[in-house]
Amino acid sequence: MFDTQKFGGYLNRLRKNADMTQAEVADKLNVTRQAISRYEHGECFPDVSILVQIADIFHVTLDELIGAGEPSRGESAILSSVARGERAATPERIEDIVSLAPYLKPSVLGELSAGLAQQGIDISNIVALAEYLQDDSVIAMLKKANFDTIPLDLMEKLMPFLEAKSKAAIFDKILSGEMDWHFLYPMLLYSDSMNSQVEAAVVEGALPWEALKLMRKAMSEKWKRRKKDDER
C-alpha cells in the first residue's frame, strides 16, 4: 500500500540535497510552505497533478518519485497515468483504488471504478469509496454489488454518503427481492422521505407488514439520536 510517510521522507531528502527551503519549493509549486511541511511529514499527499512538477524541480523521474512511497504495481500505474494526464487503465484490484481514493478527484475515481463495477464489487469496498465518489458512480457499483453477506452495521456506514438516487437504487433491490427487507432499517435512519414509500409498498404487498414495525423502530431511534445531539 502506498505510504505517504515514506514519500514525504524522500521529498524531504530531495529538498535538502537541492539546498532549497520549504518556502522556495512552495513558491515553485504555488502552494503554501505549510503544505510542503505536511507533505514531508506524510500528513497529506500533494495533488497528483503537481507530481510531474515536483519531479522536474528535483531532477528525478516521475517513476522514482512515486516509487518512494512503495506503491503496489496497480497503485504505481494509477498515479503515473493520472499525473501525466493520461486515462488510467482499469486496475486489476479494487484495493488499489480504495487505498488511493483520498488522493484522487471524484471524476478520476469514477473512471477507475467503472470497469470494475461491470464485474461486481464487494459492498465493503463501496462503503470505503462512497465518501470520495460522485453519486452516479456509486449507483453504478451498487447495481452490480453483491449484497448477500453485508451486515446491517456496514450498510449503516454507507448511508450518510449516499444521495437520494443511490438510496432509491438500493430500495429497488429490496422491492425486487434481491436484498432482504431488513436492510430498510439503516436506510430509514438516514432518510426522512422514505416512510411514505415503505407504507405504499406494504399496502401493495411488495413488503411485509412487519416493515412498518421496522419503520417505527427507525423513527424512534432517530428521535433518540436527535435528543442526544441536542443535549450535547
Apex CA 144: angle with CA 140 and CA 149, to 5°? 130
Mean pLDDT of the chain: 87
Average confidence (pLDDT) over 99-125:
77
Question: What is residue 31's DSSP assignment?
Answer: S
The candidate with the shortest Cα–Cα distance to 182, out of 153, 204, 162, 157, is 153
Q: Which residues pair with 122 in a beta bridge?
A: 146
Q: Which helix (H) or strand (E) holds 93?
A: none
* Region 30-41 average pLDDT: 96
In this predicted structure, the answer to whether residue 152 has a pLDDT above a threshold of 90 is no
The answer to whether residue 47 scores a pLDDT higher than 70 is yes
Window from 26-35, 56-65, 92-101 with minimum mean pLDDT: 92-101
Other Cβ atoms closer than 10 A to 123: 20
Residue 18 banded pLDDT, cuts 50, 70, 90? very high
- What would the pLDDT profile of 184-222 be if each residue is shown by its tens digit? 998 898 887 889 999 999 999 999 999 999 999 999 998
pTM: predicted TM-score of the whole model, two decimal places: 0.68
Instruction: Yes or no: say if 145 and 122 are a contact pair by the CB < 8 Å rule.
Output: yes
Separation between Cα atoms, residue 105 and residue 1, nearest integer Å: 19
Question: Can you tell me whether residue 124 is helix, strand or coil?
Answer: helix
Q: What pLDDT sits at residue 227?
A: 79
Please check whether residue 119 is in contact with residue 125, taking contact to mean a CB–CB distance below 8 angstroms: no
Q: What is the pLDDT of residue 109?
A: 84
Instruction: Please give the average per-residue pLDDT across 137-141, as a whole number.
Output: 76
Quote the percentage of the chain above a pLDDT of 70: 91
Please give the distance of CA 121 from its chain centroid, rounded to a whole number: 13
Round to whole Å and give the CA distance between 60 and 62.
7
Long-range contacts made by residues 142-151, C-beta under 8 angstroms, separation at least 24? 142/166, 142/169, 142/170, 142/173, 143/117, 143/169, 144/117, 144/118, 144/119, 144/120, 145/120, 145/121, 146/120, 146/122, 147/123, 147/173, 147/178, 147/179, 147/183, 150/123, 150/124, 150/183
